[in-house]
Amino acid sequence: MGGMSEQTLGGGETLGLVRVGDTVRRPAHATGPFTREVLLHLERAGFAGAPRFLGVDEHDREILTFLPGEVVPDAALLADAQIASAGRLIRAFHDATAGTPVAGGAEVVCHGDLGPHNTVFVGEEAVGLIDWDDTLTPGTRLADLGHAVWCFAAVAEPLFDLDEQARRVALFCTAYGWDDPAAVIDELGARFRRARDDHHAAGRVAAETVFIDLCSWMDSHGPTLKSLLS
């Protein structure tokens, strides 16, 4: 690698992720071929908010361009301008895949783990989405929005009261151009139930407990949250 050192990149779930110069090296993963197809499509479509796939190195690792900027994993630290900018960037990503072969007959390609932890900011501007991995799949805008709103608005988290959660949900949805934020809350509740059931079926007790609690929160507070969005 021309004498360039490897810098371990932490903070995510991908093991073996390193930076080499202006590139990121990532071990091969199960959905690698599809991920590469999507990234190449986004490059051809002119979507600048995703890393570029550059090939494979001598260790059979994917080579991606490094996106400089800052990741803000704590939703409490996000400014309104950052939330709105992220909503616009995610809309541009979805639009770039809508009705294309990579969507495979679905509405769009879903990133599957959208949130501030996978968004790169330069100041108040969201400039990139990262961690294109095993959650990448064809799907609906609403499914991807549910996860994004959960993370950007900290829905069901103790960071904010219901009024502030609703304000952030509305801010994100408006920036994206989604005119039915209550439907996003319904989708998020359905996502919690799916995750609870999947973890139960797989015997992952600790993870199941997390989503049991989230489902209970949504049953108790979801109707009020939706009423604040109407």
- pLDDT of 46-96, one tens digit each? 999 999 999 998 888 999 999 999 999 899 999 999 999 999 999 999 999
Q: pLDDT band for position 6 (50/70/90)?
A: confident
Task: Give yes or no: residues 81 and 17 share one domain.
Answer: no
Task: Give yes or no: residues 126 and 210 share one domain.
Answer: yes
> Which of 10-14, 32-36, 41-45, 129-133 is least confident?
10-14
Task: Give yes or no: residues 55 and 111 share one domain.
Answer: no
Residue 1 lies in a domain: no
Task: Give yes or no: residues 61 and 100 share one domain.
Answer: no
The DSSP line for 180-222 is -HHHHHHHHHHHHHHHHHHHHHHT-HHHHHHHHHHHHHHHHHH
Task: Give yes or no: residues 170 and 148 share one domain.
Answer: yes
Task: Give yes or no: residues 46 and 137 share one domain.
Answer: no
Task: Give yes or no: residues 199 and 168 share one domain.
Answer: yes
How far apart, in whole angstroms, are the C-alpha atoms of residue 53 and residue 204? 34
Task: Give yes or no: residues 219 and 177 share one domain.
Answer: yes
Per-residue model confidence (pLDDT) at position 9: 67
Predicted confidence (pLDDT) at residue 41 exceeds the cutoff of 50: yes
Query: Residue 177 is which amino acid?
Result: G
Q: Can you give the CATH number for the domain in which 162 is found?
A: 1.10.510.10
Q: pLDDT band for position 15 (50/70/90)?
A: low
Per-residue model confidence (pLDDT) at position 1: 46
Structural domains in the chain (count): 2
Question: At 157, phi and psi to the nearest 5?
Answer: -105, 155
Q: Which of 45, 65, 85 is the last residue of a domain?
A: 65
Predicted confidence (pLDDT) at residue 4 exceeds the cutoff of 70: no
Task: Give yes or no: residues 52 and 81 share one domain.
Answer: no
Which of 215, 153, 156, 139 is closest to 181 using CA atoms?
A: 153
Per-residue model confidence (pLDDT) at position 17: 81
Which of 103, 110, 108 is closest to 129 using CA atoms?
A: 110
Q: Are 79 and 73 in contact (CB under 8 A)?
A: no
Which of 177, 94, 88, 162 is closest to 125 using CA atoms?
A: 88
Average pLDDT, the chain: 93
pTM here? Answer: 0.91
Domain range spanning residue 92? 70-229
Q: Tens of pLDDT along 95-150?
A: 999 999 999 999 999 999 999 999 999 999 999 999 998 899 999 999 999 999 99
Per-residue model confidence (pLDDT) at position 155: 97
Task: Give yes or no: residues 51 and 81 share one domain.
Answer: no
Predicted confidence (pLDDT) at residue 206 exceeds the cutoff of 80: yes
Residue 13 lies in a domain: yes
